[in-house]
Structure 1
């Protein structure tokens, strides 16, 4: 069902309107069909009433004058008479037809003590000789009439209406009338009506939907690709509500860009104001005579400097002036691995196939360094492997450390968060490594996932889009 349901707002609107039209037309078709059936019954009963009146009129003619009446007229006036009604108790009565017939006979000045009418699919044997309307159209179907381009063949017989009337002497007068089936013409009319309604309703809605969806798609694409600092505004198109929405988006993007610009200026000033006294402090610390104290002071200053660098880098993610270029991820990883192995760390890389991805090399290099650094810091070793999954490149960094409790994995991405006791401040670091790495990954359209390994240790997965 989800496959049939459109994903776009305009598509859903058109589908709902189409379904409602279909439902309304279905109800309308049902009512028209029932009305046509009732009309067929009324026409058949009207013919029966007319033939009864005609038959009674012919019976009033003197027997000697009846010889001058054409045989066709005598056949038309033939009625079944007897002491019992042709409409028995087990047959379903048609009160509406009985009322119509009674009113018609009253208007003609003919009175009956009882009137009965019914509809049956199959005519009983005793009424087969008192049927009207069954041979209607024989002349129209003759070869001569067809060769002259006469009317189309009559509709099929759907059933029969039987009318029985009791006169003042207690005798029952009965006749049967064929009910014709006219639904094929009705179905063609309903189909034509349905197609016309759909064309008149859906074509304007489709045009209106395109008028609305075009600027909506442009707005969605701009929102997805929004980068702070963009100077060009999105063109205001579509209906008034859509134009107002685009105008509000342009104003919001302008305010966001201004706020980020102010933040960058402020962070740049903070970085400059802090690094200058740190550099001066570093020079003064060099004059400390005690080697132990001097090394501790220098380590503290470097820790502050690294923390400040991480904060500034995190703040600038998404505002980097570096363009994305095709990079061989395999070569990039090998370079980083060589850096760590040169420092004496146990880092292994399972060399795979060459993989090219459009990334900002400097930022991705920093993200991988953070992940590998964490693996070495908490697990002593780091195993790196690369795997392609669909349109994503999965870079796995595995360690043999204690892992992270499942309930605290999400919180590890929070700034300055360290998790359990094995990841305390004594191990070093600013607590921004994972936060910065995930920000870099998401800036590229990817992400970072942390998961405990079954045999112990932690797996950090850096996902990057390919292409």
Structure 2
């Protein structure tokens, strides 16, 4: 069912309207068909009532011939006189037609003690020769059909209406009338009506839907590719509600851009104001005679510089001036491996097939460096592997460390949270490595996933889109 349901607003609107029209037209067709069937029965019963009234009038004016005389010559369609009604108790009666017939006889001044009506698929043997509307194979010319543009139509006999009326002397006078079927013209009319309604309703809805959806698609595309300071204002178009939405988006875009520009100015000032005294402090530390104490001071200053650099990098993501260029991921990984190998860290990488991805090389290298640094910090070895999955490139960094409790994996991406609670540089950094790495990955349209390995240790996967 989900496959049949369209994803677009216009498609859903058209499908709902089409289903509603189909349901309404189905109900309308059923009612029209039932009405046509009832009309056929009424026409057949009207013919029977008229023939009974006509026959009784002729019988009243033809007194020398007895209606009970079996030797009287019979003609096709003449009335049947009998002591018993051909409409027996086991037949299905038609109360509405009986009431109509009684009212018609009363209007003509003819009174009957009882009137019976039934519908039969075929005639009983006692009614053979007492039927009207058959034997001519005539083409009926209904004035309604002609007014709707339909020509004469050959009708078929679908059954027989038997009208039987009891006179005051107890005798029953009966006649059968053929019921004609006019459904072929009715079906063509309903099909033409349905097609016309669909064209009159759906074509304007398609145009209206496109008028509404076109600016919404532009708004969606702009929101997905939104870059503060680089996204141009959208043209206000579409219905008034859509124009108001685009206007609000343009205003929001302007406010976000101004806020980020103010943040960049503030970060630049903070970076300058902090780096200057740190540099001066580093110069003064060099004059400390105690070598052990001097090394501790230098390490503290370096930690502050690294933390400041991580904070500024995290805050400036999304505003990087570096362009995305095609990069051979193998070469990028080998560069990171060489850096850690020079520091004496055990980092392994088996060079595989060439994989090209459009990335900002400096940022991706930094994200990968943070993952490898964590792996070598909490484990003894970092094993790097590359896997292609669909339109994404997966860079796995496996370690043999203690891993992370499942309930804490999501929390590890929070700023300043580390796997080791201590602030010792030997066991943990500033707590911004994973946060910065995931921010870089998401800025490229990817992500970072942490998962404990079955054989022990942790797997950090850097996902980058190949497109």
Q: TM-score range by the shorter chain?
A: over 0.9
Instruction: Tell me the equivalent position of 2:78.
Output: 78
Q: Contact 2:367 / 2:436 at 8 angstroms: preserved in 1?
A: yes
The SS at the match of 1:75 is coil
Q: Contact 1:404 / 1:420 at 8 angstroms: preserved in 2?
A: no
Instruction: Tell me the equivalent position of 2:188.
Output: 188
- The aligned runs of 1:153-302 (5 Å cut-off) are 154-230=154-230, 232-302=232-302
> 1-side partners of 2:450 and 2:156: how far apart?
76
Distance change >3 Å, CA 424–CA 32, structure 1 → 2: farther
- The unaligned stretches of length 5 or more in structure 1 are 67-72, 141-150
Distance change >3 Å, CA 318–CA 407, structure 1 → 2: same
Distance change >3 Å, CA 313–CA 262, structure 1 → 2: same
The SS at the match of 2:456 is coil
CA positional deviation for 1:405: 0.6
Instruction: Tell me the equivalent position of 1:145.
Output: none
> 1-side partners of 2:294 and 2:421: how far apart?
28
CA positional deviation for 1:178: 1.1
Count of residue correspondences: 451
- The aligned runs of 1:6-45 (5 Å cut-off) are 6-45=6-45
Q: Which deviates more, 331-340 or 318-327?
A: 331-340
Q: Contact 2:123 / 2:160 at 8 angstroms: preserved in 1?
A: yes
CA positional deviation for 1:123: 2.4
Instruction: Tell me the equivalent position of 2:93.
Output: 93
Instruction: Tell me the equivalent position of 2:70.
Output: none
1:104-159 Cα deviation digits (max 9, x unpaired): 1111111100001111223222223212112242589xxxxxxxxxx756222222
1:367-424 Cα deviation digits (max 9, x unpaired): 1000111111111211111111110011111111111111110011110111455997
- The unaligned stretches of length 5 or more in structure 2 are 67-72, 141-150
Instruction: Tell me the equivalent position of 2:148.
Output: none
Give the alignment's Cα RMSD to 1 decimal. Answer: 1.9
Distance change >3 Å, CA 275–CA 422, structure 1 → 2: closer
Q: Which deviates more, 416-425 or 19-28?
A: 416-425
- The aligned runs of 1:369-380 (5 Å cut-off) are 369-380=369-380
> 2-side partners of 1:339 and 1:223: how far apart?
39
The SS at the match of 1:163 is strand
Q: Contact 1:441 / 1:463 at 8 angstroms: preserved in 2?
A: yes
TM-score for both structures, normalised by structure 1: 0.93
> 2-side partners of 1:107 and 1:138: how far apart?
30
Q: Contact 1:441 / 1:448 at 8 angstroms: preserved in 2?
A: yes
CA positional deviation for 1:360: 0.5
> 2-side partners of 1:158 and 1:376: how far apart?
91
Q: Contact 2:6 / 2:12 at 8 angstroms: preserved in 1?
A: yes
> 1-side partners of 2:426 and 2:258: how far apart?
39
Q: Contact 2:46 / 2:101 at 8 angstroms: preserved in 1?
A: yes
Q: Contact 2:384 / 2:397 at 8 angstroms: preserved in 1?
A: yes
1:78-104 Cα deviation digits (max 9, x unpaired): 111111111111222111111111111
> 1-side partners of 2:57 and 2:122: how far apart?
29
Q: Contact 2:139 / 2:152 at 8 angstroms: preserved in 1?
A: no
Instruction: Tell me the equivalent position of 1:340.
Output: 340
TM-score for both structures, normalised by structure 2: 0.93
